[in-house]
Amino acid sequence: MKLTCFLPLLAGAALLLSPVAQAAASLPNPAAEAAAAAPAITRVDPTFWWVGMKNPRLQLLVHGPNIGASTASLTYPGVTLNGTRKLESPNYLLLDLTISPAAKPGKLSLEFQGAKKTKFSYELRARSTEPGRVQGLSSADFVYLLMPDRFANGNPKNDVVKGMKAPGVARDSMYARHGGDLKGIENNFSYLKELGVTAIWPTPVVENDEPRASYHGYALTDFYAVDPRYGSNEDYVRFVRNAHQQGLKVVHDVVLNHMGTSGYLVQDPPAKDWFNQWPTFTRSNFRDAAFNDPYVSQYDRKQFGQGWFDRHMADMNQANPDMANYIIQNFIWWVEYTGLDAYRVDTYTYSDRKFLMDWGKAVLDEYPQLGMFAETWVQGTAQQAYFARNIFPEVDGFKSNMPGVLDFQSQYAINEALTRDAGWTEGISKLYYTLQTDWMYENPMRNVVFLDNHDVSRFYSVIGEDFQKYKMGLAWLLTTRGIPQLYYGTEVLMKNYSNPDGKVREDFPGGFPGDKTNYFSAAGRTGQAGEAFRYVSTLANYRRTHPALHAGKLMQFIPNEGVYTYFRYSDAGTVMVMMNSNKDEKTVDMARFAERLNGFSSGTEITTGTAVTNLQSVKIPGRTAWVVELKK
């Protein structure tokens, strides 16, 4: 995620009141005083829970005026209240519960005794037995990343929601809401399936009730609510279920590091140390090397991990065990509630190190089949591998349990391969040397490979809008090791540079009323946009049905004279990929590939259907990638 700054500076963890608001707050208010005397419950998080979880412990965060002055009790078979705890704010009370295996679904009554007795009905649900839930993610998948607000508007009625801080839809503003929603994505499931997609990754769908630029979803204001401009919580549950019925998985984008300053936890923090504090606003230095630099200054390390991402993104202090537990429970809650298949973890490198290990263990202990990969926007393969499961020993108390990461190193490499001339280590050789370092990972097949995303310049622009290079990049994406991810619109040649980032987050043509072009329709995909779609679709659907490409082994050969050749192979077959990065045709002597070509006499280039009849010597055109299914 990339930052953009808009809102005024915070004082401590809560927004400063204006002088008018301060004066109003100082006046006598009998109604408010009466409300303060009674422990009225405004919310309890988690909003509900389940019986039969592997971890029997549950911690409830109860919020209400002066609730901290109350005592709590409950009576429910199989549920024990182990204790209550006041927090720094008088408006919170923590309840520690144990839910035994014998507990049954139902509603337990929480009783609070202060100046007045108050009851709250808390629901314990039965766990879902619905088949096909929480499928995980694997190298057999093809992930499609999209921004819900910019993809398609399926329900204009939720464009403007009364009471929310942002104004209405303004499609001519890159920082405003444009009106896309969950229904818009669902209306185009058939488009995604035609493309060959097997998993959908929307940027965060949780509530982002910030005054401006909240469309991206990374400044959440309520951990337990879908943003109503996308739909309701129930809509999201149906969205996941309907996606599963269509053979599509759902990747849920989450943020562990920060939250929007308009959220109730920031406006009324349970304790000041729930958020990292500085005398004046201090931004992170964004230098991930400080995380594990053996020579680092403590100042640099603290600023990296505890500095704020932006003025409207309060940095959460996961070293506080109550805050850490709150986050851990929330992300267990979303899996059980919706049946989502995987988590993509935003800004993973910035969070407290012990918390990252505890969070990963708790979620995977409950759902070992859950897919997880993290954003690791770092420099160097060793640094990237450090944040994934790897071969390294524990370093300074940290040993990552994150199954996979977003593979920025290979993204850097493919960009260089297509924009620089080949050299000993430069140009297309960068791809070879990047994959050579895979020995550092426990399993590099769990890494997510990509050409572009919502934070970087679009691939088609980076390569100079060269269609031949475009096809080379897509051929690499869909044949290399790992889990391929495509950014929405790349398949129809959407372009622009991320300066500012709103330019790479434009509306998908055809997703909104009045669009002159409709790329969701085959009739609307004319010219090169249509050719690009067909190329991606052909490769993706071939990959989906050929285990050699998505599950086979990889053997690569050192690039020679600007030509990079590698093989994906298994008992199910062998596919040869040959990439010529030169402008001109190259004649390639195939003798050096004998260990993989042995037994094969011909092949078919799958994107064109062209027969390859001579495996002793081939002439490959310039700026071309061949994906050849070998035949005996």
Catalytically active residues are: 346, 375
Please tell me whether the peptide bond between 77 and the residue prior to it is cis, using omega within 30 degrees of 0.
Answer: no
H, E, C per residue of 51-112:
CCCCCCEEEEEEECCCHHHCEEEECECCEEEEEEEECCCCCEEEEEEEECCCCCCEEEEEEE
CA distance 136 to 132: 10
CA distance 28 to 416: 66
Cα dihedral angle (396, 397, 398, 399), rounded to 10 degrees? 110
CA 125-130-134 angle, to 5 degrees, is 95
Query: Is residue 216 helix, strand or coil?
Result: coil
CA distance 235 to 272: 35
**Assigned token pair, 84:** 């209550």
Question: Is 351 within 8 Å of 365 (Cβ atoms)?
Answer: no
Within 13 Å, how many C-alpha atoms sit on residue 172's CB side? 0
Question: Is 600 within 8 Å of 608 (Cβ atoms)?
Answer: no
> How far does Cα 550 stand from its chain's mean position?
21
Question: Is 475 within 8 Å of 538 (Cβ atoms)?
Answer: no
Within 13 Å, how many C-alpha atoms sit on residue 245's CB side? 8
CA distance 7 to 172: 21
Residue listed under structure tokens 């002439």: 619
Residue listed under structure tokens 């609510």: 225
CA distance 73 to 79: 11
The DSSP letter of residue 10 is P
Alpha helices for 307-344 (secondary structure H)? 321-338
Closest to 374 measured CA to CA, from 352, 336, 407? 407
Taking CA atoms, 387 is separated from 316, 349, 430, 623, 630, in Å, by 19, 7, 22, 35, 37
Return the biggest CA–CA distance within the chain.
92
Give residue 573's identity as a one-letter amino acid code. Answer: G
Taking CA atoms, 142 is separated from 182, 252, 451, 547, in Å, by 20, 15, 13, 13
CA 534-572-555 angle, to 5 degrees, is 80
Residue 567 pairs with which residues in a beta bridge?
A: 555, 576
Query: Helix 467-477 vs helix 527-545: angle between axes, to the nearest 10 degrees?
Result: 20
DSSP letters of 146-203? E-HHHH--S-GGGSS-TT-SS-S--TT-TTS-----HHHHHTTHHHHHHHT--EEEES
CA distance 192 to 200: 9
